[in-house]
Amino acid sequence: MQEALAFVEALLSSAVAAGTIYLLAAVGESITERSGVINLGIEGIMAIGAVSSFLLTLAYGHLAALLGAAALGALVGLFHATLSVSLRLNQVVVGLAITWLGLGLSGFVGAPEVARYVLETLNPAVPGYLAELKQAPRLQELNLGPLSGIPVLGRALFTQNALVYFGLISAVLAWLIIFRTRWGLSLRSVGENPALADSSGINVFLTRYLALIVGSAFAGLAGAYLFTGYQPFWVEDLTRSRGFIALSLVILASWSPLRAVGASLLFGALEALQFRVQLRGLGAETPQLVMMLPYLITILTLVVVSLATRGRIPAPAALGKPYTREE
Amino acid sequence: MRRLNIPLAGSLSIRLERRPELSRARSALVTLLFLAMAFLLSGAIFQLLGYGALEIYSAFGRSVLSPTMVEEIFRKSTPIILAAIGLSYSYRLNFWNIGAEGQLYMGMIAATGVVVLNYGGILPGGPLLLLLAVAASALAGGLWSLIPAALKIRVGANEIITTLMLNYTAILLADYLVHGPWKDPTGYGFAQTIPFPPEAKLAPPGTPEWAVFLAVSAACALTTLLVFNYTVFGFESKVVGLNPYASRYAGIRTGSVVLKGVLISGMLAGLAGLVVAGNLIGRLRPGASPGYGYHAIIAALLGGLNPITVSFSSLLFGMLLTSGDVLQASIQMPRAGVKIIIAMIFITTILAEFWKRHRLRIARRGGGGG
C-alpha cells in the first residue's frame, strides 16, 4: 500500500513535470491557430529553444536562457509570418521547412566542437569545455513550504520549478484573453472569417503576425523548459517529436488553452509511466513497444475526438488558409 | 489582377503582382539561382558558427564530387527517388503525407520478414523469394499509408500528424524486431537480422547494382509520367487536389481517388525499403534509414511533383546525404550541418516557386492601384 502510494505520488509529480513541455507548446499553438495559421514549425522551434537554453544557461544563467529561447522563438515566428502571412506561402510547407531548419541548427550547434565555440563567443569568461560536457544546471524547484508535504498531490503540485507554474498561469490567462476580451474576439474572428474581420476594421495581417510570434515564443520556451527544467543533458533530437504531439494535443483540447492543461497532463503521465515501467524492469530488454504508446495514443485521440464531434472538429474555419485582401 | 501591398516606411510599399507564366528555361534558371542561394546562406551560417564555409565547400568539391563517390551517391539516391515519386502521388491530391519514412521502414520490415521466414524454412527460396520480397515490401508500405488515408477520409484526422506518428511507430517496431525476435543468433550480440540471401536482393551480387537501380528508377518515373498525364486516374487526382468540393460535384469519387494515390505512395516507399535493406545495407538494423523518407519530401517539392525533375532533385539529396558522411570523416563537420543545407534548400525552393509566380515592385502608396 505504502509502496503503491509512493508510486502514484512519483508518477503524478513527473506527469506534471513532463506535461509542462506539452502545455507550453500547446498554449502557444492554440493562440496561433485561433488566428487561422497552423505552425508546423514548433518542433524545430522547440529544438532551437532547447539548444539555446543549454548554451545560454552556461553563459549567463537561467533567466537569460529562458528569455533568450523565447526571443529566438519569436524571431522564428516572425520569419514564419513573413513567408506564410505576407507572401501567403503554403503553411504546411513553411512549417515543415522551419522544423527541418530548427532540427539541423540545433543538432549542429549542440555538437561538442560547435557548442564550445558558441559558448566561448557568447561569454569568453566561461570555460568552453563546459559545453562539451553537454550538461547545464537544472532549474531549481520552488519551495512552497508545508504545502508540498500534502500526501500524494503535494509533490506533484507544489514541488515544481517556476516554469511549471508559468505554464499553468499562462494557460488560464490565454483562455481568458481568447474568450473574454476584445483582443480575443478579434483573434478568433480573424481565424474564423478574415474577410469579415478585415471589413470590420481588424488588421488581419498584424493579428496573424502577433499570433505567430507569441505562439513561437511559447514553443521556444517549451524547448527551454525541456532542457533546463526536465532533462538538462543535451542529446541531438532532444525534442523527439514532442512538438508534433503538442500540435495534436491542440486538436484534442479543441483549441482551448484550458483544456490543453488536461490533455498535456495525459501525455505527461504517459511519458512518466513509460519511464517508470522501464525502471521497474518491464520491457527492459526491448522497451520499444512501450515507447510506441505516445504515438499510437496520439492517433487514437485524434480518432476519438473526430468521432466524438462526428467529424465536425471545431477548428477555426480559416485554419491553414492564407488571406488575400481583394482590392 | 490580384495585388498585395506590403507597406514599408513612409509612403513606399512593395507591391506583389502575379506575373505571366515563365518559360521553361527561365523557370529552371530561377530554380538554380535559388538553389545557389541556399548554399550561400548555409555557408553564412557555418561561417557564423566558426566553420570556414570555403573549407567545407572545397572539401565537398574534392571528396563528394570525385568519381569514386558517384556510385555511392547514386545508390543513396535510389530510395529517395522511389519514395519521392511516390510522394508526388500524395501531394498532387493535396494529401500531406509526411510518412514515407515509416512506410519505407515497413517495407524493410516486410522484406526482412520474408527473408527470416525463408531462413526458418517456411517460405521457399529461389527466384520466387525476390518476388515475395517485392510484393511484401510494397504491400506493407502501402497498407501503412492506407491507415492515415482512411482516417483522413473516414474521420477527418489530420494526415500530417497521423503519418508522422506512424513513422515513429514503424521505426520503433523495426528497432524492437532487431533487438528481439529477429536478432541474428550468430551475430555476436549485435542488434541486426540475418543478412539477405542473394536471391532476395533486387540487384543480386554479380549484376551491376547501378544498372538495376537505374532501370527501376526510370521505370518508376516513366510510368508515373504516363499515369499523371494520360490516365483518368491521373486527371482525377489532379482535379481532387485542386478542388475536392468541385471534383465531388463533378462526379469524381474523391475518397477512392485519394485512397488509390496514397496507396501507390506507400507502395513505392515500401519498395524503397527493400532497396535499402536488401542492397544498401544487406540486412535490417537500427537506424537503417538516415531519413530517406524525409529527404524525399523535399525532393518531391523541389522537383515540382514532376517524376522526371523529382528524380533529379532526389539525386541532389542523395549527394548531400553522402556528403554528410564524407564531410564528417574529412573535416569533422557535425552531420547536422548537411541538415542545415537541406533546410535552406527547402526554404529557397518555396521562395523560388513564389518568385516564379510573382514579381515585386516598389511603388508609392496610392499610386497606380487597381
Residue A26's CATH number:
1.10.3470
- pLDDT value at position A4? 86
Per-domain residue ranges of chain B = 78-307
Does an H or E element contain B88, and which? helix B67-92
- pLDDT value at position B4? 58
Instruction: Look at the block and give the residue holding cell 527501376.
Output: B216
Q: CA–CA separation, B143 vs B264, rounded Å?
A: 10
C-alpha cell at A119: 559558448
Quick one: chain A helix, strand, coil %, rounded to 5?
75, 0, 25
Of B5, B45, B161, the CB nearest to A302: B161
Q: Are strands B12-18 and B358-364 parallel, antiparallel or unpaired?
A: antiparallel
Q: CA–CA separation, B243 vs B264, rounded Å?
A: 21
How many cross-chain Cβ pairs, A to B, lie less than 8 Å apart? 149
pLDDT tens digits along B188-197: 888 999 999 9
For residue A29, being part of any structural domain is answered with yes
* CA of A4 vs chain B CAs: smallest distance (Å): 30
How much is the pTM? 0.93
Diameter over CA atoms, chain A: 71
Q: CA–CA separation, B29 vs B62, rounded Å?
A: 26
Query: What residues in B contact A50, CB-CB < 8 Å?
Result: none
Contacts of A245 by beta carbon, 8 Å cutoff, 6+ apart: A22, A267, A294, A295, A298, B165
* CA of B274 vs chain A CAs: smallest distance (Å): 22
Residue A221 has pLDDT above 60, yes or no: yes
- pLDDT value at position B331? 87
Name the residue in chain B with its Cα closest to that of A295.
B165
Length of chain B: 370
The mean per-residue pLDDT over the stretch A81-90 comes to 94
Q: Indicate the pLDDT class of residue B7, thresholds 50, 70 and 90.
A: low
CB–CB contact A103 B336 (8 Å)? yes
For residue A148, being part of any structural domain is answered with no
The mean per-residue pLDDT over the stretch B17-36 comes to 88
∠ CA B109-B114-B115, nearest 5°, is 95
Name the residue in chain A with its Cα closest to that of B355.
A87
Query: What residues in A contact B162, CB-CB < 8 Å?
Result: 299, 302
Put simply, whether A203 touches B (Cβ < 8 Å) is no
Put simply, whether B166 touches A (Cβ < 8 Å) is yes
Query: What residues in B contact A245, CB-CB < 8 Å?
Result: 165
Considering only CA atoms, which of A204, A230, A171, A237 is closest in space to residue A25?
A: A171
CB–CB contact B334 A113 (8 Å)? yes
Put simply, whether A40 touches B (Cβ < 8 Å) is yes
Name the residue in chain A with its Cα closest to that of B294.
A100
C-alpha cell at A19: 506535461
CB–CB contact B340 A302 (8 Å)? no
Q: CA–CA separation, B242 vs B177, rounded Å?
A: 41
Q: Buried b vs exposed e over A262-290: b needs ≥16 C-beta within 10 Å?
A: ebbbbbbbbbbbbeeeeeeeeeeebbbeb
**pLDDT higher for A15 or B9?**
A15
Length of chain A: 327
Query: What residues in A contact B166, CB-CB < 8 Å?
Result: 295, 299
Instruction: Look at the block and give the residue holding cell 512552497.
Output: A144
Domain total for chain A?
1
Query: What residues in A contact B335, CB-CB < 8 Å?
Result: 107
Give the phi and the psi of residue B67 in degrees, each rounded to 5: -55, -35
pLDDT tens digits along B115-166: 999 998 888 888 899 999 999 999 999 999 999 999 999 888 889 999 999 9
Of A97, A289, A311, the CB nearest to B176: A289
* CA of A63 vs chain B CAs: smallest distance (Å): 23
Q: What is the mean pLDDT of chain A?
A: 92
Percent of chain B with pLDDT over 90: 68
Q: Which residues pair with A20 in a beta bridge?
A: none
Q: Indicate the pLDDT class of residue A153, thresholds 50, 70 and 90.
A: confident
Q: Buried b vs exposed e over A203-236: b needs ≥16 C-beta within 10 Å?
A: ebbebbbbbbbbbbbbbbbbbbbbbbbbbbebeb
Domain that holds residue A223: 2-134+161-308
The mean per-residue pLDDT over the stretch A116-134 comes to 95
The mean per-residue pLDDT over the stretch B181-185 comes to 91
- pLDDT value at position B330? 85
CA distances from B148 to A169, A303, A320, B103, B145 (A): 36, 11, 19, 11, 6
Q: CA–CA separation, B129 vs B202, rounded Å?
A: 10
Q: CA–CA separation, A142 vs A165, rounded Å?
A: 10
CB–CB contact B334 A104 (8 Å)? no
Residue B16 has pLDDT above 70, yes or no: yes
A279-298 residues touching B, CB cutoff 8 A: 285-286, 288-289, 291-292, 295-296, 298
CB–CB contact B369 A327 (8 Å)? yes
C-alpha cell at B69: 563517390
Q: Indicate the pLDDT class of residue B18, thresholds 50, 70 and 90.
A: confident
Considering only CA atoms, which of A265, A290, A298, A275 is closest in space to residue A12?
A: A265
Considering only CA atoms, which of A49, A9, A91, A114 is closest in space to residue A319?
A: A91
- pLDDT value at position A306? 83
- pLDDT value at position B3? 53
- pLDDT value at position A148? 82
pLDDT tens digits along B311-333: 999 999 999 999 888 888 888 89
This model of the complex carries an ipTM of 0.92
